[in-house]
């Protein structure tokens, strides 16, 4: 369960305070797949970053699986992310000096998992990159890098997965493949999944769509998928 209660985010711009999110409240049940949509500047990516603990809100709270993450210290937040959260970035964020295999295995190794490499190999096979394990990010196409990023996000079997515009830097055919793999892996793992996207077709494949406008929830509805 993800519970967001009266969440607000403001930033200082010169002498002015700019409101990015304003009194956002909602709940996401376990294993639900949700899309967050809205025009550029509506606060989508900011909201996702707050849910993942990558930033802290100005006010309000976020509770994930019974833990108020806004009350955690920085070290506690790092531990929480390692144990509970997977994240797929639009710009991949792979470590350039590590191979595809090493990138996927890294979260597991940080958790002290002795089976990290074996698990990483299984996931790369699942995203159809079995033959690219020893390639570095610079040797991979954008679509291949995003598939590595998807595999890495699922490596620790996180109960919650966030994806910020996972197809934003990909052509339509490659994006469709990445989305197919993302949904298939999520079905296998049973994670709660929250996607930020401009892609209406992708949003309609989720179970629920939350639309933001000017930092507030504009609509919140179930889809027919």
Q: Is the pLDDT of residue 91 over 90?
A: no
Residue 21 counted as domain residue: no
The predicted model gives 93-110 an average pLDDT of 96
Q: Which residues contact 18 (CB under 8 A, 6 or more apart)?
A: 10, 11, 12
Residue 19 counted as domain residue: no
Determine what percent of the chain is predicted with pLDDT higher than 70.
Answer: 100
The predicted model gives 138-142 an average pLDDT of 96
Q: pLDDT tens across 58-69, in order? A: 999 999 989 999
Asked whether the whole model's pTM tops 0.75, one would answer yes
Instruction: Decide: 169 and 95 in contact? Cβ < 8 Å.
Output: no
Residue 65 counted as domain residue: no
What's residue 225's pLDDT? 59
Residue 8 counted as domain residue: no
Residue 101 counted as domain residue: yes
Quickly list DSSP for 75-110. HHHHHHHHHHEEEE-TT----TTS-HHHHHHHHHHH
The predicted model gives 93-103 an average pLDDT of 97
The predicted model gives 48-67 an average pLDDT of 94
Q: Give the chain's count of helices (H) and strands (E).
A: 7, 10
Domain range enclosing 115: 28-57+72-222
Distance between CA atoms of 95 and 161, rounded to whole angstroms? 20
Residue 87 counted as domain residue: yes
Q: Is the pLDDT of residue 27 over 70?
A: yes
pLDDT category of residue 199 using cuts at 50, 70 and 90: confident
Residue 149 counted as domain residue: yes
The predicted model gives 179-199 an average pLDDT of 91
Joined tokens for residue 128: 């159809």
Q: Is the pLDDT of residue 57 over 80?
A: yes
Residue 217 counted as domain residue: yes
What's residue 144's pLDDT? 95
Average pLDDT, the chain: 93
The predicted model gives 17-42 an average pLDDT of 95
User: How many domains are contained in the chain?
Assistant: 1
**CATH code where residue 38 lies:** 3.40.50.300
């Amino acid at each position: 369960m993800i519970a967001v209660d009266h969440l607000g985010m403001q930033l200082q711009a010169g002498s002015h305070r700019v409101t990015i999110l304003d009194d956002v409240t909602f709940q996401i049940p376990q294993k639900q797949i949700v899309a967050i949509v809205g025009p550029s500047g509506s606060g989508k990516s900011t909201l996702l970053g707050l849910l993942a603990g990558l930033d802290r809100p100005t006010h309000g709270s976020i509770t994930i699986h019974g833990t108020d993450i806004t009350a955690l210290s920085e070290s506690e937040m790092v531990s929480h992310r390692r144990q509970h959260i997977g994240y797929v970035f639009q710009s991949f964020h792979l470590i350039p000096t590590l191979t595809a295999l090493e990138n996927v295995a890294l979260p597991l190794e940080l958790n002290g998992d002795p089976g990290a490499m074996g698990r990483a190999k299984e996931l790369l096979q699942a995203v159809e990159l079995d033959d690219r394990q020893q390639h570095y990010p610079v040797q991979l196409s954008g679509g291949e890098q995003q598939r590595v990023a998807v595999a890495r996000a699922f490596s620790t079997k996180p109960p919650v997965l966030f994806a910020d515009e996972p197809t934003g830097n990909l052509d339509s055919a490659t994006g469709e493949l990445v989305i197919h793999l993302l949904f298939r892996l999520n079905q296998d793992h049973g994670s709660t999944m929250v996607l930020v996207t401009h892609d209406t077709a992708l949003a309609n494949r989720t179970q629920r769509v939350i639309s933001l406008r000017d930092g507030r929830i504009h609509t919140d509805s179930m889809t027919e998928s």
